Amino acid sequence: MRHGLSPRPSSGLSWSLFITPSTLQLHPLLEILLEPVPVEERELVRLGLQEALVNAVRHGNREDPRKSLRIRRILLNGWFVWQIQDEGPGIPADRRFFRLPDAPEAPTGRGLFLIRQCFDDIRWSPRGNRVQLAKRRQGSLGP
């Protein structure tokens, strides 16, 4: 895993870039991504991040170990933000549902619903192969 750090403390912004092989061995990466999150907020964020990373590996990169994930962690005043990008074709806008599948036995379709429950703001790149997940810091006010 490559890691780049570019802090900008005077602006209230710092960010880190992680480029990692497409793998489902996510525990070490999750621990690094969660470092700045207070312990009392971690479990919900961990659940959402894990689901987003698994989706990127399975659905975006089709579990191809030759492909990579790019994850940017951004720390803003009042927000934790993660941008997760895979090398896949992306999710079309009309398939970005945040609801449970109609059939309980459906093999897929729960991930986006679960992600929606874990984050305060979710945005997609136009192509749909990068998702931005944001969690408001507890006790912070504002948009």
Long-range contacts of 120-124 (CB under 8 A, 24+ apart): 122/98, 124/91, 124/93, 124/96
The CATH code of the domain at 2-136 is 3.30.565.10
Per-residue pLDDT, 105: 72
pLDDT score recorded for residue 111: 84
pTM summary value: 0.86
pLDDT surpassing 50 at residue 120: yes
What DSSP designation does 137 have?
P
State which amino acid sits at residue 134. A
Q: What pLDDT is stored for residue 10 in this prediction?
A: 45
The model's confidence at residue 18, banded by pLDDT at 50, 70 and 90, is very high
What average pLDDT does this structure show over 60-79?
96
Domain boundaries defined on the chain = 2-136
pLDDT at site 125: 96
Mean pLDDT of 7-19: 74
Burial of 143: CB neighbours in 10 Å, binned 0-12, 13-18, 19+: exposed
